[in-house]
Chains A and B, each alone.
Chain A
């Protein structure tokens, strides 16, 4: 019962009209961060604000879907663990977190970040948390891509005897 009420509060407080691309980007970025990382960067940047839970952190799963033949009809591939929470700052901003894995403390840090990114601290956090995460993820991705590229086959034709 109480969770239903909390859920309604969450839904009622969603912002429907604003351009959500930046928020979509930072939530996606933080969801892919290594364990404990968002919390560490957040605490180095600012003192955590007071907040109230709208939905305390909970661990669950989501069903990952794929398409037959990569482009066809969807099918269920299997589940992935997922942790979510929602909170509201004393100043009224609502923060959400949906992150892979089972870390409630990481989810809390992400939701606080999400809320703070809607305040005047956004610029500081962009520079000291989000840009750092982005740079790390790009570096990690590039490093793998560079190793993969080194295993790319260069075909060459053997000299044939007829000429």
Chain B
């Protein structure tokens, strides 16, 4: 028998009020402003923008504050907000070759045009806690040096001159959009890249790591990693021409992978590509490795049955909002479902009990 029940309104209301109080914490400690989050927790903000799939640092900072620093909850808030926005169109593809680079390194070529520019990186720090940060916020000004302003060419272009690396030929097809149509298999590369750039960082990192450990052998070199800002240009129908509507910071990673050739392709280097909103280096490298692993079919490689080669497995489990939605719903009331299970187990036990008694009697 199904009995509809209501209740809990007051408990829910009080729980939310308490949540607000806990979010604020000790009121004798100054409140954190959205601007402080945006400026001082920038990498958390970047992750929320990347996985929330909406570039707006102020909104992402607000979401982090509201979510008490729970980044997946913050991403959830951004995804929900995103669905309320009317879409005014799509930009022209951003030109990362014209990026104003804060950082640009290559693990494959020491001397390359534009040089190895480290940028504001954690690399080469000793990972020792800096207790000075707990005491005061004073920082020395960063050093400067005269910059040569010119576009920084991509590393893969050099290899292209020799024909040693596969080309990424230019085309202008309209890409599929998983925010408009459900993700379906088989997923072409454009769709995979869209899914990966908004995928959970931890999941993508784990998948990428698995390829390094030998599940789908492809030894990747970071051909290039660059972080910086690019203008976003869009055709404005009522003007009849395109304008730059703003600027975004991106992290781009191109991996170079050895490839011994297949029936259709000569031995050459192949490429994996990662491009993510914000300064999000770990994610961009992970994305490039997973992208490369998922390309096995189009390159005529063998299916080794590795998890990172399985597009359906990777893409259907990479979205942390879908995952957390389904995972966390199981804590919500399932009284009726469970009641049914309970009845069933009791019945089975009863039958089993009867049987064992009758067997003993024989």
Interface residues of A (CB under 8 A from B): 7, 10-11, 13-16, 20, 23-24, 27-28, 31-32, 58-82, 84, 86, 96, 98-102, 141-153, 155
Which 6 residue pairs of A and B lie closest in terms of their CB atoms, listed nearest first? A100-B246, A69-B168, A72-B168, A28-B244, A146-B144, A145-B147
Residues on A with C-beta less than 8 A from B238 are 7, 10-11, 13-14, 86, 96
Q: Does B10 contact A (CB under 8 A)?
A: no
Residues on B with C-beta less than 8 A from A81 are 54-56, 59, 85
B140 shortest CB reach to chain A, Å = 13
Residues on B with C-beta less than 8 A from A14 are 238-240
Roughly how many angstroms separate A66 CA and B284 CA in the complex, as a whole number? Answer: 14
**Interface contact B242-A79, CB-CB below 8 Å:** no
Residues on B with C-beta less than 8 A from A102 are 56, 58-59
Roughly how many angstroms separate A82 CA and B85 CA in the complex, as a whole number? Answer: 9
Roughly how many angstroms separate A151 CA and B273 CA in the complex, as a whole number? Answer: 25
* Contact pick for B147, options A61, A77, A142, A155, CB 8 Å: A142
A87 shortest CB reach to chain B, Å = 12
**Interface contact B115-A78, CB-CB below 8 Å:** no
Residues on A with C-beta less than 8 A from B231 are 28, 32
* Contact pick for B277, options A28, A77, A98, CB 8 Å: A77
* Contact pick for B101, options A65, A82, A148, CB 8 Å: A148
A153 shortest CB reach to chain B, Å = 4
Task: Identify the stretch in B187-195, B208-216, B327-335 within 8 Å (CB) of chain A at 4 or more residues.
Answer: B187-195
**Interface contact A61-B172, CB-CB below 8 Å:** no
* Contact pick for B86, options A16, A23, A60, A146, CB 8 Å: A60
Q: Does B146 contact A (CB under 8 A)?
A: yes
Answer whether A64 and B91 are a contact pair too, CB < 8 Å, given A24-B241, A69-B273.
Answer: yes
**Interface contact A77-B240, CB-CB below 8 Å:** no
Residues on B with C-beta less than 8 A from A143 are 144
**Interface contact B147-A148, CB-CB below 8 Å:** yes
| Nearest A residue to B177, CB-CB | A76
B205-239 to A contact mask, C-beta < 8 Å, 1/0 = 00000000000000000000000000111101111
| Nearest A residue to B49, CB-CB | A78
Q: Does B94 contact A (CB under 8 A)?
A: yes
Contact sample, A vs B, 17 pairs, CB 8 Å cutoff: A28-B233, A28-B244, A62-B88, A63-B89, A65-B91, A70-B97, A76-B178, A79-B179, A81-B85, A82-B246, A98-B245, A146-B147, A147-B102, A151-B103, A151-B119, A153-B117, A155-B110
A76 shortest CB reach to chain B, Å = 5
| Nearest B residue to A63, CB-CB | B90
Task: Identify the stretch in B18-26, B247-255, B308-316, B343-351 within 8 Å (CB) of chain A at 4 or more residues.
Answer: B247-255
| Nearest A residue to B169, CB-CB | A72
**Interface contact B243-A28, CB-CB below 8 Å:** yes
Answer whether A98 and B234 are a contact pair too, CB < 8 Å, given A62-B245, A65-B94.
Answer: yes
11 other A-B residue contacts (CB within 8 Å) besides A31-B246, A65-B175, A148-B101: A13-B238, A66-B96, A71-B154, A74-B172, A79-B55, A80-B91, A81-B59, A98-B88, A100-B246, A146-B147, A152-B118
**Interface contact B119-A77, CB-CB below 8 Å:** no
Q: Does B132 contact A (CB under 8 A)?
A: no
**Interface contact B156-A69, CB-CB below 8 Å:** yes
Residues on B with C-beta less than 8 A from A60 are 85-88
Answer whether A150 and B175 are a contact pair too, CB < 8 Å, given A14-B240, A63-B89, A66-B93.
Answer: no
| Nearest A residue to B277, CB-CB | A78
Answer whether A71 and B170 are a contact pair too, CB < 8 Å, given A96-B236, A146-B147.
Answer: yes
Roughly how many angstroms separate A67 CA and B174 CA in the complex, as a whole number? Answer: 11
Answer whether A72 and B111 are a contact pair too, CB < 8 Å, given A61-B82, A64-B248, A65-B94.
Answer: no
